Amino acid sequence: MTAITIRLQGCRKAFADGTVAVHDLNLTVEGGETLAILGPSGCGKTTTLRLIAGLERPDVGQVFFGDQDVTRLPIERRDVGMVFQNYALFPNLDVAGNIVYGLKVRGMAPRERNKRCEELLELVGLQQHGKRSIHELSGGQRQRVALARALAPRPKVLLLDEPLAALDAQLRERLRSELSELLRGLGITSVFVTHDQGEAMALGDRILVMEHGRIAQLASPRDIYQKPANAFVAGFVGNLNAFAVSGASPTGLKVCGGELPWQGTDRPETLYCRPEHLRVTQSEGHLHGRLLAQFFQGAQSRLLVDVGGPQPLLVDSSDNELYAIGAPIALAIAPHLLFTLNA
Ligand code: ATP
């Protein structure tokens, strides 16, 4: 089966009270791609997912699956599998009953159904749990049943609404990598909604960052992080240091605490960098300040360094050396790790 491309063309969705949840959205999800939709509460993530699912119809615009215009098709005629945040499993059916439910409705013969059920139980690692009732399962196991149920009819498109939100942090991280492996292995086109930037980075081939019903940026996780389109995206995905530029020198740009090695021909007002890209150095650094605080975080520690600017700099250092509060700190950065942002 070739994976299908999803296309939203000029989609707008407003609700009865006048709230415009999605504005003129143009979006292509490539066949076999996993797209993460990320953004703050109320930015239109779920509405976008529901437009793709056929649970909402756009006021204006069209939705295509491949060449087919599915705008007016309801969910049951779109060939989508859906996993909801609360899993929406049938409590009166056992695990196998939940998984084959959709196949039964479609009239698949029992023998074929059972074979498919075995395949799916194996796929999600629940081989021994087919006869268990739903209330005997852990949160992670329920999530897997919901996934198996959604995948059972071999849908063209898999949609997931905050699929891991109900799980505790550790389990979430484990299932995140399992889910990522599974989606890549299946090669199915999938779209999922999340609040969690770590989840979006780990699972998404690309991330759509939304702000007020519009696309703030659509790019690979690496580009979203390293080349954010604007200050909103940069602030939403990860931490940021900002440097007000006060002048130029032959080798760079002058900022509070020193001089940064800017290679651009322009002279921006503000330069930015990520905390992990500042390096504590024993030799001549680009910036000089004093340690305000150090927080041990396991694999790394976060330093707060006062270089005389309005905010202390955040520095994520993996050497985990312990510095004395007030100690002089020299920081260096590679020029390509500095960037500018649109407002
Ligand atoms: P969250 O992360 O909180 O789930 P979201 O990004 O998924 O938010 P949506 O659920 O798509 O956001 O909602 C976008 C906007 O549309 C919000 O302002 C929301 O209040 C509004 N909205 C969503 N559904 C409805 C509805 N059925 N009736 C009226 N307004 C709605």
Pocket flag, ligand 1, residue 19 (CB < 6 Å): yes
Q: Which value, to the nearest 10 degrees, does the dihedral of the CA atoms of residues 42, 46, 47, 51 take?
A: 170
Q: What is the pLDDT of residue 263?
A: 87
Tell me the C-alpha distance between 307 and 54, whole Å.
53
8, 12, 17, 47: residue to mutate for ligand 1 pocket, most atoms within 8 A of CB? 47
Distances in Å between the Cα of 172 and the Cα atoms of 56, 71, 111 are: 29, 34, 34
pLDDT, tens digit, 9 for 90 and up, residues 159-213: 999 888 877 777 788 788 888 888 888 889 999 999 889 899 989 999 999 999 9
Per the structure block, which two tokens stand in for 77? Answer: 């005629």
* Over residues 86-105, mean pLDDT: 89
> What crossing angle do the helices spanning 110-123 and 95-105 adopt, rounded to 10°?
130
User: Residue 319: helix, strand or coil by DSSP?
Assistant: coil
Ligand 1 atom closest to Cα of residue 39? 6
DSSP tag of 256: T
* Phi, psi (deg, nearest 5) at residue 78: -105, -5
Between the CA of 280 and the centroid of ligand 1 the distance, in Å, is 44
Q: What is the pLDDT of residue 334?
A: 95
Q: What is the pLDDT of residue 182?
A: 85
Tell me the C-alpha distance between 259 and 125, whole Å.
55
25, 46, 50: residue to mutate for ligand 1 pocket, most atoms within 8 A of CB? 46
pLDDT, tens digit, 9 for 90 and up, residues 266-288: 899 999 999 999 999 988 899 99
**Confidence check: pLDDT of 1 > 80:** no
Between the CA of 44 and the centroid of ligand 1 the distance, in Å, is 6
Distances in Å between the Cα of 127 and the Cα atoms of 5, 132, 222, 246 are: 32, 11, 36, 64
23, 25, 45: residue to mutate for ligand 1 pocket, most atoms within 8 A of CB? 45
Cα 8 from chain centroid? 19
Tell me the C-alpha distance between 177 and 147, whole Å.
14
